[in-house]
């Protein structure tokens, strides 16, 4: 049994979905198919959630209309027969979303977020599953929330492995069909409320299912040839990494390589399951293999995080930055779910680099100011180089000024300001 994950770009249009059938036809194995929301649907739902909290009914209506039109266009491109059950099914899902949006927002933003964000994956999987059957590929649709169980951490559920193992083994059974189609990114808690696994979490879903179901291997199908040593958006002459060890993959993902979700590797590594990252545009190409591999070192990889904020914190009374102060700082960051990308402490000041999530940054700064002197700087870039040397550092420092640097044996992190901006 294999696990395939198809991300948003691989299901963004009727043609893209048809291409999935072409890929599946190349295989004889049973396949568990994990799918993300179509195209930019999750972003659209996030906008709807914002409007929902602002009680902006007009904006909700407009976004809702666009979302419905987008999905309908894909369905019409795939299954033109208007009598097909897919139309009834999808209408029901949209009615469910409308009903949810008609409810009053609760006081728990993250809870409401998850109850609304889940519609993207429900829609995409229903459409793909219907289409596979329509194209003669016998498939069954499964609601992954009945199998993957988490704690109550909305928007970043932590998997309850024992319960998930039991339910997944029971539910993910092939009965005459060769394909099981299910949602990435979603799970549920003990009260059966939807809990999402964090943005881009579908890779993680694929890896959890592969671990539990003891898959032969996992393939993440992407619109890039595999894992590159840098994001081509920011870098010329990128190199495809053909083979990556689990450890290097974890490091690269941790520092922000956008191709793999950081939590994806561990469940696979535990069971020695290979992960392939391959192009759905060029399914003949080998892509990248991540597994239990050995080599001296990899070509240098460059990871860019844009739009970073540097927060500088110092005690009012010139006291040392020690465990007591750090405990307060970490507590505040953790409470508002702001993740540390880089940190540095001196005797009397502490600096931390985070993503520019405006809402969270505001909350964190406000609360820090109750205890410390705080200032912050926005518009920065954080560059991590794995397997760095002088030449690679020079390469990324062109036209930049350095604000912070952290050097390890294999990695260096540079917080810079682009002089062009
Ligand atoms: N649809 C979700 C997102 O865009 C999950 C995923 O794509 O992995 O974040
Ligand atoms: Mg995605």
Write down all domains in the chain, each with its CATH number in brackets.
2-215 (3.40.1160.10), 301-418 (3.30.2130.10)
- The answer, yes or no, to whether any atom of ligand 1 lies below 6 A from the CB of 251, is no
| Residue 421 pLDDT | 60
Q: Which ligand is nearest to the CA of 183?
A: 1
Residue 144 Cβ contacting ligand 1 at under 6 Å? no
Alpha carbon 70 to chain centroid distance?
A: 22
Q: Is 184 in the pocket of ligand 1 (CB under 6 A)?
A: yes
Alpha carbon nearest to ligand 1 atom 8, residue: 200
Q: If you take atom 7 of ligand 1, which residue's CA is the nearest one?
A: 200
Residue closest by Cα to atom 6 of ligand 1 = 200
Residue written as token pair 């599953």? 129
> Residue 348's pLDDT is what?
85
Q: 40: CA distance to ligand 1 center in Å?
A: 9
Q: Whose CA is nearest to atom 2 of ligand 1?
A: 200
Please name which ligand lies nearest the alpha carbon of 223: 2
39 C-beta closer than 6 A to ligand 1: no
**Least distant ligand from the CA of 184:** 1
Q: Ligand 1 atom 5: the closest Cα is on which residue?
A: 200
Q: Point out the residues of the chain with pLDDT beneath 70.
A: 421
Residue in 16, 42, 203, 201 with CA at minimum distance from that of residue 127: 16
CA 222 to ligand 2 center in whole angstroms: 9
Reduce the secondary structure of the chain to three states and give it as a string: CEEEEECHHHHCCHHHHHHHHHHHCCCCCCEEEEECCCCCHHHHHHHHHHHHHCCCHHHHHHHHHHHHHHHHHHHHHHCCCCCCHHHHHHHHHHHHHHHHHHCCCCCCHHHHHHHHHCHHHHHHHHHHHHHHHHCCCCEEEECHHHCCEECCCCCCCCECHHHHHHHHHHHCCCCCCCEEEEECCEEECCCCCEEECCCCCHHHHHHHHHHHHCCCEEEEEECCCCCECCCCCCCCCCCECCEEEHHHHHHHHHCCCCCCCHHHHHHHHHCCCEEEEEECCCCCCCCEEEECCCCCCCCCEEEEEEEEEEEEEEECCCCCCCHHHHHHHHHHHHHCCCCCCEEEECCCCEEEEEECCHHHHHHHHHHHHCCEEEEEEEEEEEEEEECCCHHHHHHHHCCEEEEEEEECCCEEEEEEEECCC
Say if residues 217 and 32 touch (Cβ distance below 8 Å).
Answer: no
Parallel, antiparallel or unpaired: strands 2-6 and 217-222:
parallel
Q: Which residues pair with 411 in a beta bridge?
A: 386
Biggest CA–CA distance in the chain, Å, is 73
Whether 243 is in the pocket of ligand 1, judged by its Cβ within 6 Å, is no
Confirm or reject: Cβ of 185 under 6 Å from ligand 1. yes
pTM for the whole structure: 0.90
- Return the residue matching tokens 């209408």: 91
CA distance 403 to 413: 11
* Atom from ligand 1 closest to the CA of residue 198: 9
Q: How far apart are CA 160 and CA 369, in angstroms?
A: 37
Q: State both tokens at 175.
A: 């009965």
Which pLDDT belongs to residue 103? 96
CB under 8 Å to 179, separation ≥6 — which residues?
Answer: 24, 30, 31, 32, 33, 132, 137, 138, 139, 140
Ligand 1 lined by 155 (C-beta under 6 Å): no
Unique residue bearing structure tokens 């016998």: 138
């Amino acid at each position: 049994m294999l696990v395939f994950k198809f991300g948003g770009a691989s299901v963004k249009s009727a043609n893209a979905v048809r291409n999935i059938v072409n890929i599946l036809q190349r295989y004889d194995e049973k396949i568990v198919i994990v799918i993300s929301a179509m195209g930019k649907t999750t972003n659209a739902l996030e906008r709807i959630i914002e409007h929902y909290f602002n009680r902006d009914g007009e904006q909700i209506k407009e976004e809702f209309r666009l979302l419905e039109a987008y999905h309908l266009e894909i369905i019409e491109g795939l299954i033109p027969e208007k009598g097909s059950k897919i139309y009834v099914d999808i209408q029901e899902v949209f009615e469910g979303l409308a009903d949810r949006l008609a409810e009053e927002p609760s006081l728990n933003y993250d809870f409401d977020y998850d109850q609304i964000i889940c519609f993207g994956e429900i829609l995409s999987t229903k459409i793909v599953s219907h289409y596979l059957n329509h194209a003669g590929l016998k498939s069954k649709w499964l609601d992954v929330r009945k199998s993957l169980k988490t704690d109550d951490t909305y928007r970043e559920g932590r998997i309850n492995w024992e319960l998930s193992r039991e339910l997944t083994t029971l539910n993910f059974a092939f009965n005459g069909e060769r394909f099981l189609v299910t949602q990435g990114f979603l799970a549920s808690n003990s009260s059966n409320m939807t809990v999402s696994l964090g943005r881009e979490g579908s890779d993680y879903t694929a890896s959890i299912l592969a671990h539990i179901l003891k898959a032969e291997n996992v393939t993440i199908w992407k619109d890039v040839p595999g894992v590159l040593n840098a994001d081509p958006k920011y870098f010329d002459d990128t190199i495809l990494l053909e083979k990556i060890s689990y450890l290097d993959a974890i490091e690269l993902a941790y520092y922000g390589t956008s191709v793999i979700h950081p939590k994806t590797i561990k469940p696979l590594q535990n069971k020695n399951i290979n992960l392939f990252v391959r192009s759905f545009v060029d399914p003949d190409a080998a892509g990248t293999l991540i597994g239990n591999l050995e080599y001296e070192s990899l070509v240098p990889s460059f990871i860019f995080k844009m739009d970073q904020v540097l927060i500088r914190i110092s005690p009012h009374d010139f006291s040392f930055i020690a465990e007591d102060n750090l405990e307060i700082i970490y507590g505040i960051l953790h409470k508002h779910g702001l993740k540390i990308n880089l940190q540095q402490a001196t005797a009397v000041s502490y600096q931390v680099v985070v993503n520019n999530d405006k809402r969270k940054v505001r909350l964190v700064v406000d609360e820090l100011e109750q205890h410390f002197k705080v200032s912050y700087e926005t518009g920065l870039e954080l560059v991590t180089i794995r397997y760095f040397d002088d030449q690679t550092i020079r390469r990324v420092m062109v036209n930049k000024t350095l604000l912070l640097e952290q050097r390890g044996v294999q990695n260096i992190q540079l917080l810079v300001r682009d002089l062009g901006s």
